[in-house]
Amino acid sequence: MYAEIHRMLKLFPEFQHNNEEENADILQKIFGVACDPDDDGSEFKLGATPKCPKCGSREMKSWDVSIEPKIWDVLEITHNRWQKLSSGDKKDALYRRLEQLDFIKQSSV
């Protein structure tokens, strides 16, 4: 799935002249568009900090080391919604995400 999004990203003229490192940074920020939401409806994000178990915030002033290791269930990332989209709908969804994150200016289509 990651490779598919990477190939699609390079179809947009705005990213064809980027080096691979630049596109990799963008890809990490947009990859969630192809993932199903998690069990609480949140979008999957690569590199996101964990949520506070008490308040749900991702803005932490500091992290403390836990003396006892905690085991967390990790859900498998699925792409059911993305896989049902046509090629055109996938490109549209990707374009909208790139716009939302200001990687593409709205006037470029």
Residue 10 covered by a domain: yes
Is-above-0.85 flag for pTM? no
Residue 6 covered by a domain: yes
- Domain coverage including residue 20: 1-39+77-109
The Cα 60–Cα 19 span in angstroms is 33
List per-residue pLDDT tens for the chain, 109 residues long: 889 999 999 999 999 899 999 999 999 999 999 999 887 788 888 877 777 777 878 777 776 666 777 777 777 889 999 999 999 999 999 999 999 999 988 754 4
Q: Number of folded domains in the chain?
A: 1
Question: What would the DSSP string read from start to end of 40-107?
Answer: TSPPP-TTPPPPPTTT--S--S--PPPSS------PPP--HHHHTS-HHHHHHHHHHHHHHTTSS-GG
Helix axes 87-100, 2-9, angle to 10 degrees: 70
Residue 26 covered by a domain: yes
Residue 13 covered by a domain: yes
